[in-house]
Copies of this chain bind each other. A is one copy, B any other.
Amino acid sequence: MTELVRLGSNENLLGPSPLALDAIRNACAEAHLYPTDQDQILKEKLSAAIGHGISPDHIVLGNGSGDVLRMIAQTYVSPGSQVVLPTPTFSSYKRVTKLHGGDVIEVPLKDYQIDLPGLLSAITPETTLIFLCNPNNPTGQIVTHQQTEAFLAQVPDHVTVVVDEAYIDFVDDPAFPRMTELITAGYNVIVARTFSKVYGLASLRVGYGFGKLESIAPVRDRRHSFESGRMAYVGAAAAINDEVHIVNTIDMVRNGREYLYEALSKIGLNYLRSQAFFVLLTDLPLDAQYIVDEALEQGVILRHTTVFDMPGYVRISIGRLEDNRRAIEALTNILQANDLI
């Protein structure tokens, strides 16, 4: 039987950073010791990598970026709080808001773009948080530096803005926000990032957030214990310097996007050009769940967008060339079986 092609969860099919694996294997001998210093070492490496005055004190680590989002919600959301977010977007923002008793105020995308004026209009005195995913998941669309700055300038002081940049490494649009500049300018914004994508370390559960001290310190105070394990910290710290793996992964995603654009056009499927790790199929000629089920029959895992409360679309993660080819083959077979090509 052919191996399953995993294009449903935005995993890095090039595999984990080899330097991270070396570090993890070396750390195994100390698996019995609490990870007392490794978190600080990781924060120092992140500080150096982020630059622009972001010191270890401006950084909070988490057990995956989902844990960072949870700590942010725990800090800024309580019963009665309103949390404003675009819809559809990554589902965790809703989940952590509801876990802490907050009300979710959803602002629909406009033509697949985040409606920044709509988000501003949704702010009330009860609003404590706004979540932005940039590039947005599952659309792969970005808001620009200029748009973000104009937006932040209009957000009132009682609202913290969280910008989830899980897919930043795959962006090639030069208009993408330089968030460190906006943090330095004093905006009340927290950036969240992950080691699960470009570094290929989804199984380790390491994420981080950064922002100005006043925004980050209360979040870090929610830390109850070690956020992650020793292997996770040392693996993440090693991955930051794995230039070869980083470049290869970015190349894989950029080349994979171009391959998919061309191949999808050839078989007559519509899609959104993406700045992220995935491509969203739109205006499908068949039922989305049917497509996902039939692709799975052919060994290819795709994602129906039900988890985003936006049924009717299919998201394809970018894999290696052979993975992407398998996805196109499956889609071609499905269209042929339905006399659509």
Contact = CB atoms under 8 A, between A and B. Distances in A.
B6 A95 contact: no
Q: How many copies does the complex hold?
A: 2
Interface residues of A, number: 50
Interface string A29-42: 11111110000000
Interface stretch (A146-154, A179-187, A199-207): A199-207
B31 A204 contact: yes
Interface string A1-31: 0000010010111111000110011011111
A249 B331 CA distance: 55
A33 B202 contact: yes
A32 B9 contact: no
A11 B34 contact: yes
B224 A66 contact: yes
Interface stretch (A43-51, A127-135, A230-238, A280-288): A230-238
B9 A31 contact: no
A114 B204 CA distance: 39
A318 interface: no
Given A64-B225, A66-B225, A225-B67, A231 B24 contact: yes
Interface string A78-103: 00000000000000100110010000
Interface of A: 6, 9, 11-16, 20-21, 24-25, 27-35, 63-64, 66-67, 69-70, 74, 92, 95-96, 99, 196, 200-205, 222, 224-232, 235
Given A31-B200, A229-B229, 13 more contacts: A15-B29, A15-B32, A16-B32, A30-B203, A32-B201, A34-B202, A63-B67, A63-B227, A67-B225, A95-B224, A203-B231, A229-B231, A231-B232
